Structure 1
Amino acid sequence: MKRILIVLLVFFSVVLPVRAADFASEMVEATFKFFHDDSTSTCFLVKRAAPDKALYLVTTAHTVERTKGETAILVLREAQEDGSYLRRDHTLKIREGEKPLWVRHKDQDVAVLKIEGALPVSVTPLAEGALLDEAALKAAGVHICSPLFLLTYPQRFEANGAGFPVARQGIFASPPLLPVKTHPTFLGDFTTFAGDSGGPVFIPGADGHPRVAGIVIAQHHHEDKVKSEFEERMVRHPLGMGIILHASYVREALALAAEK
C-alpha cells in the first residue's frame, strides 16, 4: 500500500501545475505609463471578446482632458532575448483637432481610448472578464480590511529604466458597497500621488489570475490654514486614502468605446 501511495504522489506532482498563475505579473504586463508634459497617468490595456480585435486603453478622464494637443506617450516595454527589457515610448493620437478620440463615461471619471492599429511592441492585455462587475465582486467576498494591490506611477516615478510600474498594497478602507449606482466609489488604505490616477486596483482571483476591483481616481487630504502676523498659507496633509472607482464603470466605458 505504501509503495502505491508513493507512486501516485509522484504521478500527481508531475501532472499537476507546480504553482498557480502569477496574478500580479499578469497585471504588470497589462499596465503602462501614459503621459504628456501637462499630465501623467497610469493606464492598462484591455481586450474584449472576439470578434473585437481592438485594444482598449483605460485611464482616468481628468488626465486625458488636461492633456493638450493631439498626442500622448504610451511607455511600452520590449522584452530582449537575455531577459532584459527596453523602454519604448510610443506616440498615440488622442484628439483629431479639438475632437477627443477617447470615450468618457457619462457620469464617472474614466476614459477609454480604442487602439485600432497594432502596437510596435507585443503586449499582453487584460481580458475584459477580469473586470469585476457587481455579481463577480460580491462573489469574490471582499470586505472592509480585505487586502488589495495596485500598480501606478506615483509622481511620474518608474520602477526602473524599462518603465515598469510600481507595485503597492493596502486594504479596503471602506467596504465596496453595492449597488455601484448608489456607491460608485470606495476607499483604499494607501497614500495616493499625482500619476496614480488610472492605476488598476486588483485582487487575486480564485483561479490565480488578477481581478480588477476598480481604478484610482483621486485622494483624500486635510487642509490646515496657517496664519501668522506676516504669513498666511494653506498646508495640505494627505490622509493616506485613495478613492477608487468601481470596475463596473470601466466595463460600461469599454462598451461605449466599442460602439463608437
Structure 2
Amino acid sequence: MFAEAVTWDLTVSLINATVQLDQPQGDGTRTVGTGFLIDAPRADGTPRVVLVTAGHVLNRMPRQDARIGWRVPLSDGSWRFTPAPLTIRDGESEPLWISHPDHDVAVMSIEAPEAFARAAIPSGWLADGYTFARFDVAPGDEMMSLGFPRGLSANRAGFPILRVGRIASYPLSPVVAFPTFLVDFTVFPGNSGGPVFMTGASQRRPGVPRPEHPFIAGVLTQQVEMDSERLGIGVVVHASYIRETIELLNQAERAAAEEEAAAIAAE
C-alpha cells in the first residue's frame, strides 16, 4: 500500500509539472501544445527551471509571446486556471529556446511561479541511454503520457489529461540507433510536447524489475498517420535527447555569460 501511495504521489508530481502552451492566431484559432518543467540547476548551483516541449510546438508559434497555463490553488481547495504571457522570441523574432539539432525537442529557461518551481521534476528523472536496459523495458510495457488534446484540459483548473498506452515498437536500444519509439495510444494536436513516463504501478511482464520512482522516458512529438488517417500511435523521442538539449542550453548560457563578461571588461 505504501508503494502504491508513493507512486500516486509521484504521478501527481508529474501532473503538477505539466502545463499547457498556446498562442492565439488572430483568426479565432490558437496553436496549442504541452510542456513540462524540469529542475535543472546551472553548473554553479544556481536554481533554474527549464521548460521542455516538442520543437515544432514553438516553431508553429510565430509571435513574440505565447501563453503558459499556470494554475493557482485557492483557499477553498479549488484551483483557478491563470494563463500568463511567456516570451518565446526576442525583439528581432529570434527564438529564445534551444532546439536539438536532430530531434523534435526544445528547451528554454523560464521564470516560474514559486509553486511551479517547486513542482519542477528533478533532471535525474530523465531516462538516460541505459535506463531502458536497467529496467528491462520492452514492447507491451505500459507508459503514461500527459497533455492537452486539442487544447482540452481535465477540468476548468487547467490540469493535463492522463493517457495510458503500451510500447508498440522493437528494438528500443541502443538509443543512438533507435532515438524514437512508438506507444499505442491516440494522439491529437495539443498532446505534442507532453512527458511520456513509467511508474512502479505500470503494468509489465512478470518478474521484471519495477522502477523505484517514475522516470520520464521521453517527449511525445507526433501521431502516426498514413494517407491522412490516424493510426492511434504516438511517436516519442527518447529522454536522452532532452538531456542533450539541456546541455546545449547550458553551453549557450555559458557562452552568453562569457561574451557579456568580455564586453564589460572591454569598456
- The separation in 2 between residues aligned to 1:200 and 1:25, in whole angstroms, is 13
Unaligned runs of 5+ in 2: 26-30, 201-209, 253-267
Relative distance call for 1:54 and 1:239 in structure 2 (3 A) is: same
Summarize deviations over 1:119-148 as a string: whole Å, max 9, x none: 345110011011000112211221000011
- The separation in 2 between residues aligned to 1:30 and 1:210, in whole angstroms, is 13
- The separation in 1 between residues aligned to 2:57 and 2:243, in whole angstroms, is 19
Residue 210 of structure 1 corresponds to: 214
Residue 254 of structure 1 corresponds to: 246
Task: Give the SS at the match of 2:170.
Answer: coil
Q: Is the 8 A contact 1:20 1:208 kept in 2?
A: no
Residue 52 of structure 2 corresponds to: 58
Summarize deviations over 1:31-70 as a string: whole Å, max 9, x none: 0101112421100000124603111000011110110111
1:77 paired residue among 68, 71, 79:
71
TM-score, L = length of structure 2: 0.82
Summarize deviations over 1:94-139 as a string: whole Å, max 9, x none: 1112211000001111000111x3x345110011011000112211
2:105 paired residue among 110, 117, 130:
110
**What aligned pairs does 1:137-216 form with structure 2 within 5 A after superposition?**
137-175=132-170, 177-205=172-200, 206=210, 208-216=212-220
2:36 paired residue among 22, 27, 44:
44
Residue 255 of structure 2 corresponds to: none
1:134 paired residue among 129, 133, 138:
129
2:87 paired residue among 89, 93, 97:
93
Q: Which amino acid aligns with 1:246?
A: H
RMSD: 1.9
Percentage identity across paired residues of the two chains: 34
Stretches (4+) displaced over 4 A: 205-208
Task: Give the SS at the match of 1:134.
Answer: coil
Relative distance call for 1:107 and 1:28 in structure 2 (3 A) is: same
- The separation in 1 between residues aligned to 2:148 and 2:121, in whole angstroms, is 19
Q: Which amino acid aligns with 2:180?
A: T
1:239 aligns with 2:204: no
Aligned-pair CA distance for 1:19: 3.5
Residue 25 of structure 1 corresponds to: 12
Q: Which amino acid aligns with 1:42?
A: T
- The separation in 1 between residues aligned to 2:142 and 2:4, in whole angstroms, is 25
Residue 265 of structure 2 corresponds to: none
Q: Across the two proteins, how many residue pairs are aligned to each other?
A: 232
Relative distance call for 1:147 and 1:43 in structure 2 (3 A) is: same
Q: Is the 8 A contact 1:176 1:185 kept in 2?
A: no
Aligned-pair CA distance for 1:207: 6.0
- The separation in 2 between residues aligned to 1:204 and 1:18, in whole angstroms, is 10
Task: Give the SS at the match of 2:192.
Answer: coil
Unaligned runs of 5+ in 1: 1-12, 224-235
- The separation in 2 between residues aligned to 1:98 and 1:258, in whole angstroms, is 22
Query: Radius of gyration: which is bigger?
Result: 1
- The separation in 2 between residues aligned to 1:49 and 1:207, in whole angstroms, is 24
Task: Give the SS at the match of 2:115.
Answer: coil
Relative distance call for 1:132 and 1:89 in structure 2 (3 A) is: same
